[in-house]
Amino acid sequence: MTTHGQSVQRGDIVLQGNTRFLVLVVHGGRAFLAPLVMTGLPHYRSDMILPDMGRTARCHDARWTDVDRLHRTGLRIGPARMLCAEQALLVEWKARAIEREGPGIFWSTLARGPKIGSCGRRVGGAPGAE
């Protein structure tokens, strides 16, 4: 797991082409990377802002790649920030799991719960005629 004589480790900021990535996991010659984009709006539910770098790690766009294609920049984030990245990944994975379920599976937090099998509010119908 070396690239050009340097080992890539969890928490490293690496380059692949002209794009910076945060290494989330290294396993078996492959790395799970989150792209680093310029900090700005909009923010997604799984974004992790790195204010000292002026960048945001987009954990919802994370992907696997070969370690041999990466170049180290010499920058690294600390263990506390890596915990934030792991939590951002968990938030994204849990939200995606819920979104894969059909409508009416989970109870609403509103005053009245959903009707099982309902596909949501009807558009164009009379109010209250559900």
Q: Kindly tell me if the per-residue pLDDT of 104 is higher than 70.
A: no
CATH value at residue 32: 2.30.30.110
What's the pLDDT score for residue 49? 85
- Write out the residue range of the structural domain in which residue 68 sits: 2-100
What's the pLDDT score for residue 100? 82
- Give me the phi and psi of 93, to 5 degrees please: -65, -40
What's the pLDDT score for residue 48? 86
Confidence class of residue 1 from pLDDT cuts 50, 70 and 90? very low
109 in any annotated domain: no
CA–CA separation, 98 and 94 (whole Å)? 6
Q: What angle do CA 77, 40, 22 make, to 5 degrees?
A: 25
Q: Collect contacts of 35-40 with beta carbons under 8 A, ≥24 apart.
A: 35/61, 35/62
8 in any annotated domain: yes
Q: Kindly tell me if the per-residue pLDDT of 106 is higher than 80.
A: no
Q: Residues 111, 115, 116, 121: is their CA dihedral positive or negative?
A: negative
Three-class secondary structure of residue 87 per DSSP: helix
- Give me the phi and psi of 47, to 5 degrees please: -75, 140
116 in any annotated domain: no
**52-98 pLDDT, tens per residue?**
888 888 888 889 999 999 999 889 998 888 888 888 888 888 888 88
121 in any annotated domain: no
What's the pLDDT score for residue 70? 92
What's the pLDDT score for residue 65? 93
Structural domains of the chain, count: 1
80 in any annotated domain: yes
36 in any annotated domain: yes
110 in any annotated domain: no
26 in any annotated domain: yes
**10-35 pLDDT, tens per residue?**
999 999 989 999 999 999 889 999 99
Stated pTM of the model: 0.70
